[in-house]
Amino acid sequence: MAEDADPARKSIGARRNPASADAILEAAEAVLVEAGYAGFSIEAVARRARAGKPTIYRWWPSKAALLLEVYQRQKRVDVPDTGRLEEDLVGFLNNLFAHWRETSSGSVFRSLIAEAQSDDAASAALADYALGRRSHTGQMVERARARGEIGADIDAALVADLIASFAWKHLLTNRLDEDEATIRKAVHYVMRGIAVPGR
């Protein structure tokens, strides 16, 4: 897609004007609600925000990057800290599935994943986002390691990837109504591979 990325636009780190950035993000959310993912465009956001396309591209180098920030603004998923990793992971997945199911975020993220299969800009934006989420989810695993609940040699990032792959599979196959017993079983299988014996 011609508008999705411009290799010359590299000033992603340019300092943002907070008021202008908020106006653009609010306009992007509004366009997304009104036109859906298929009708979302940088031109439409620029018109709605009364901002120039160069300003938008200075802060978001592609349509996918802008959509991912909109997605992150919408995302309200509690990350439990119960003192037990198994309960934390089950609670996190339950919260994530409910959020995807009950808001437009699930549809937006599903579309972004699909677009990333054929669009380099979307793929790069999604990879950057996934790296950050991997670290965020991995914090639950790191807490468990500090408690001695899992082995010291366990790769927290890899465990986070296993949890994410379970979640993304359910998102992409529209199975977000999975019952807690199945979620708990999947987490239990992961725990059997990483828990310290006797814990």
> With bands split at pLDDT 50, 70 and 90, how would you rate the model's confidence at 8?
very low
Residue 152 sits in the same domain as residue 94: yes
Residue 45 sits in the same domain as residue 86: no
pLDDT, one tens digit per residue, over 107-160 is: 889 989 988 999 898 899 899 889 888 988 999 999 999 999 999 999 999 999
Residue 109 sits in the same domain as residue 25: no
pLDDT, one tens digit per residue, over 37-74 is: 888 999 999 999 999 999 999 999 889 999 999 988 88
Residues 6+ apart with CB under 8 A from 132: none
Domain assignment of residue 19, yes or no: yes
Number of domains in the chain: 2
- 174 lies in which domain range? 77-192
The domain that holds 83 is classified in CATH as 1.10.357.10
The last residue of one of the domains, among 32, 59, 86, is 59
Closest to 62 in 3D by CA, of 149, 1, 144, 129: 1
Domain assignment of residue 159, yes or no: yes
Domain assignment of residue 65, yes or no: no
